[in-house]
């Protein structure tokens, strides 16, 4: 099975990381739909071809992911020496070189499993920061058998609510992130379908709902949202706006809410059913198969059809629940990004204000960076077609509606906030200035370049060229490429010297950039 360029790049970057680090564990960050199962299978196949005595363990917490990963392994390597250990799948094989396992089933079986060289953890953002969690306790038991065991995490959302980035802080399992491809790149290459978010006239009121651990209190949330009037209005508006959509996936606040939503859909003549954590495995599988086949138009769920659920035909996502978790928000949105034969994109109807809260899925801030805002929401709604766009947008991408210049000036300071983000801003560069910068927060030294777009306009870029890992490599390559355009093709170790040399180089004629929070992300540098 041929790998895509970015999939090969992911494998190469992981091997590079291990060559550069004698200890530690990296996390491979891959957007939903990037082909994570194929990358894992190719990595394992490659590892055992080179080192046949290697024992590999693939861990996850979702039965569907165990099946998906094992099936992909078999398709890549039909004769792979593999077994599955999962009570929910009715298999308990521990003696093969490759084991696919559910953490709930295997976490007390380290002694039976024995020596393991390499662990992959799928959806590794689920690993608790606490040493007492199942994953951490199990890995500790395996380390007692093999102190040199290495762990590779895989996730689309490398952060946890209440903790921030999974590789930052004390006593973390993962030390670095490897990010070989972005959502934007996958959409641009035609590997993922874009999302289109629409403003809804029905809005869920959660002003009375308390928060615990950074998230809405589940019982209070369901009580506030699960009422006949709100459910009826959500269904009415959904059927109006999604009249041409074939497959509707609803995210609800609780079991009762999901059941009531399905009841209301069926009452309106829409074939719908509900899946919850209590749905028997056989029935759950049957409902998902019906949904994928199109014989069931709508599925409602509560906290189960996010991770590990794949139905490419979904062309409408209905967010009937709010969440403070950016990870859950991205996981929900990701269910609609698989390519579909009948539609070019997926409609997102956000009745809960998640898009306005978290911003574009291409630039979601991790939990520790989310700030409580008191100003205007950084989005606006097209008065002609109701498309939700970034506040600074002047022309609606859907219908072509033009906003007046005064409105642009009024909203220019607001953060880009449509669900996919907007195209980068282009700036003509009149000059640049390089200097060494020391972070007040971390004390890390880096290079800072300020691109000038006139007397009053500038864009700052921070390049952490001394950092280990993938980010450091990327930033060093950027600087090396810029220096290659001058008489100095190598990067000096002294940042003051590097800045002085770069200040002698000609700047790009234009840059393309996006604003992400208070920082700028330079997407492209154009030289005349």
Which tens digits make up the pLDDT trace of 396-444? Answer: 776 677 776 443 332 222 233 468 876 678 889 999 999 999 877 677 8
Pairing of strands 26-29, 176-178: parallel
Residues 374 and 459 reside in one and the same domain: no
Residues 350 and 451 reside in one and the same domain: no
Task: Among 91-100, 114-123, 403-412, name the one with the lowest average pLDDT.
Answer: 403-412
> Does residue 252 share a domain with residue 332?
yes
Check if the beta carbon of residue 510 is closer than 8 Å to that of residue 451.
no
- Whether residue 373 has pLDDT greater than 60: no
**Residue 337: inside a domain:** yes
Report how far residue 55's alpha carbon sits from residue 64's, in angstroms, rounded to the nearest whole number.
23
**What is d(CA 352, CA 321) in angstroms, rounded to the nearest whole number?**
5
Give me the pLDDT at residue 381, please.
Answer: 67
pLDDT band at 515 (very low <50, low <70, confident <90, very high): confident
Give the span between the Cα atoms of 109 and 96, in whole angstroms: 15
What is the mean pLDDT of the segment spanning 503-523?
82
> Does residue 67 fall inside a structural domain?
yes
103, 135 Cβ separation under 8 angstroms: yes
Examine the domain organization and report whether 480 and 435 are in the same domain. Answer: yes
Across the range 30-58, mean pLDDT stands at 92
Average pLDDT, the chain: 85
Does 390 have pLDDT greater than 70? no
pTM of the model: 0.71
Q: Which of 127-136, 431-440, 476-485, 487-496 has the highest mean pLDDT?
A: 431-440
pLDDT, average across residues 345-355: 91
Task: Tell me what pLDDT residue 407 has.
Answer: 34
pLDDT score of 375: 42
Q: Is the pLDDT of residue 136 over 80?
A: yes
Residues 360, 245 share a domain: yes
Instruction: Give the position of tokens 């899925």.
Output: 361
Contact at 8 Å (CB) between 203 and 151? no
Stretch 223-243: mean pLDDT, rounded?
94
Phi, psi of 226 (to 5 degrees): -85, 85
Q: Is residue 340 part of a domain?
A: yes
- Tokens 């059927």 identify what position? 239
Question: Which pLDDT band, with edges at 50, 70 and 90, does 371 fall under?
Answer: very low
CA angle at 32 for the pair 364 and 297, rounded to the nearest 5°: 105
Mean pLDDT across the stretch 217-226? Answer: 92
The DSSP code sequence of 321-347 is: S--S-HHHHHHHHHTT-S--SS-SSEE
User: Residue 504 is inside which H or E element, if any?
Assistant: none
> Does residue 377 belong to any structural domain of this protein?
yes
- Place 481 in a pLDDT band, splitting at 50, 70 and 90: confident
Across the chain, how many H-helices and E-strands are there?
16, 26
Q: What is the dihedral of CA 164, 168, 171, 174, to 10 degrees?
A: 100
In a domain, 174, yes or no: yes
Closest CA to 206 of 197, 214, 216, 196: 216
For 278-292, what is the mean pLDDT?
89
- How would you classify the pairing of strands 388-390 and 379-381? antiparallel
Give the pLDDT confidence score for residue 444 in this predicted structure: 82
Q: How many domains does the chain have?
A: 3
User: Which position has the higher pLDDT, 217 or 457?
Assistant: 217
Tell me whether residue 419 is in a domain: no
Give the torsion sign (CA, 435, 440, 445, 451). Answer: negative
Looking at the structure, tell me whether residues 160 and 262 fall in a common domain: no
Residue-level pLDDT at 376: 43
For residues 371 and 277, membership in a common domain is answered with yes
Predicted confidence at residue 504, as pLDDT, reads 87
**What residues form DSSP beta bridges with 427?**
511
Rounded distance between C-alpha atoms, residue 162 and residue 373, angstroms: 18
CA distances from 148 to 24, 329, 369 (A): 10, 36, 34
- Say if residue 9's pLDDT is above 50: yes
User: Among 369, 387, 411, which residue terminates a domain?
Assistant: 411
Residues 350 and 488 in one domain: no
Domain housing 468: 426-526
Q: Is residue 420 part of a domain?
A: no
| Per-residue pLDDT, 166 | 84
Indicate if 161 and 24 belong to the same structural domain.
yes
Mean pLDDT is lowest, of 343-357, 370-384, 428-442, for 370-384
Can you give the pLDDT at residue 517?
A: 56
296 vs 473, higher pLDDT: 296
CA 212 to chain centroid: 23
Nearest to residue 62, comparing CAs of 90, 103, 18? Answer: 103
3-class state of residue 409 by DSSP:
helix
Residue 248's Cβ-count burial label (10 Å; 0-12, 13-18, 19+) is buried
The bridge status of strand 519-526 relative to strand 510-516 is antiparallel
In this predicted structure, the answer to whether residue 308 has a pLDDT above a threshold of 50 is yes
Place of tokens 């920082």: 519
Most confident of 101-105, 167-171, 463-467: 101-105
Residue 416 in domain:
no
Going by their DSSP bridges, the two strands 82-86 and 195-198 should be labelled as unpaired
- What is the residue-wise DSSP string for 107-174? TT-HHHH---SEEEEETGGGS-SSTTSHHHHHHHHHHHH-TT-EEEEEES--EETTTEETTSSTT-S-
pLDDT for 372 equals 45
pLDDT tens column, 438-468 = 877 677 889 999 999 877 778 999 998 888 7
The mean pLDDT value for 152-172 works out to 84
CATH number at residue 93: 3.40.50.300
Neighbouring CB atoms inside 10 A of 509's CB total 12
Nearest to 135 by CA among 113, 104, 164: 104
Two tokens, residue 436? 């060494």
Cα–Cα distance measured from residue 55 to residue 98, given in angstroms and rounded to the nearest whole number: 6
Q: Clarify whether residues 262 and 404 are in a common domain.
A: yes
**Domain edge (last residue) among 411, 441, 475:** 411
| Of the residues 411, 441, 464, the one at which a domain ends | 411
When pLDDT is averaged across residues 479-491 and rounded to a whole number, the result is 68
Question: Do both 367 and 227 map to the same domain?
Answer: yes
Percentage of the chain beyond pLDDT 70 is 88
Note whether 112 and 53 are same-domain residues.
yes
């Amino acid at each position: 099975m041929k790998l895509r360029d970015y999939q090969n790049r992911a494998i190469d970057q992981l091997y590079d990381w291990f060559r550069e680090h004698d200890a530690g564990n990296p996390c491979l960050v891959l957007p939903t739909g990037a082909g994570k199962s194929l990358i894992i299978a190719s990595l394992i196949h490659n590892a055992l071809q080179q080192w046949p005595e290697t024992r590999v363990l693939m861990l996850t917490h979702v039965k569907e992911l165990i099946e998906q990963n094992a099936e992909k392994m078999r398709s890549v390597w039909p004769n792979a020496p593999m077994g599955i250990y999962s009570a929910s799948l009715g298999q308990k094989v521990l003696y093969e070189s490759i084991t696919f396992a559910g953490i709930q089933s295997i976490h007390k079986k380290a002694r039976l499993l024995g020596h393991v060289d390499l662990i992959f953890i799928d959806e590794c953002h689920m690993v608790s920061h606490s040493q007492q969690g199942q994953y951490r306790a199990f890995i500790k038991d395996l380390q007692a058998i093999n102190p040199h065991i290495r762990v590779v995490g895989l996730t689309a959302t490398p952060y946890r609510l209440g903790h921030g980035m999974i590789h930052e802080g004390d006593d973390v399992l993962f030390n670095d992130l490897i990010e070989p491809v972005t959502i934007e790149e996958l959409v641009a290459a035609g590997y993922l379908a874009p999302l289109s978010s629409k403003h809804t006239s029905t809005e869920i009121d959660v002003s009375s709902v308390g928060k615990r651990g950074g998230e809405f209190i589940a019982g209070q949330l369901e009580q506030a949202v699960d009422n006949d009037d709100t459910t009826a209005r959500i269904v009415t508006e959904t059927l109006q706006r999604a009249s041409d959509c074939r497959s509707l996936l609803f995210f609800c606040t609780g079991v009762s809410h999901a059941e009531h939503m399905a009841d209301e859909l069926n009452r309106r003549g829409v074939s719908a059913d509900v899946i919850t954590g209590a749905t028997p495995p056989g029935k759950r599988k049957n409902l998902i198969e019906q949904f994928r086949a199109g014989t069931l138009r709508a599925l409602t769920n509560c906290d189960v059809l996010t991770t590990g659920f794949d139905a490419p035909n979904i062309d409408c996502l209905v967010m009937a629940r709010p969440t403070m978790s950016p990870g859950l928000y991205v996981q929900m949105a990701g269910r609609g990004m698989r390519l579909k034969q009948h539609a070019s994109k997926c409609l997102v109807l956000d009745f809960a204000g998640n898009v306005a809260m978290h911003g574009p899925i291409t630039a979601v801030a991790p939990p520790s960076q989310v700030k409580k805002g008191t100003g205007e929401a950084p989005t606006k709604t097209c008065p002609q077609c109701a498309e939700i766009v970034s506040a600074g947008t002047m022309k609606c991408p859907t219908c072509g509606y033009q906003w007046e210049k005064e409105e642009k000036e009024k909203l220019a300071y607001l953060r880009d906030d449509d669900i996919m983000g907007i195209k980068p801003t282009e700036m003509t560069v009149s000059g640049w200035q390089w200097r060494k910068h020391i972070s007040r927060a971390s004390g890390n030294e880096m290079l800072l370049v300020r691109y000038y777009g006139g007397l009053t306009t500038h864009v700052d870029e921070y390049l952490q060229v001394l950092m280990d890992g993938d980010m450091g490599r990327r930033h060093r390559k950027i600087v090396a490429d810029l220096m290659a355009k001058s008489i100095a093709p190598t990067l000096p170790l002294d940042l003051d010297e590097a800045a002085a040399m770069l200040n002698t180089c000609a700047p790009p004629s234009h840059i393309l950039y996006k604003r992400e929070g208070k920082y700028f992300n330079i997407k492209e540098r154009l030289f005349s």
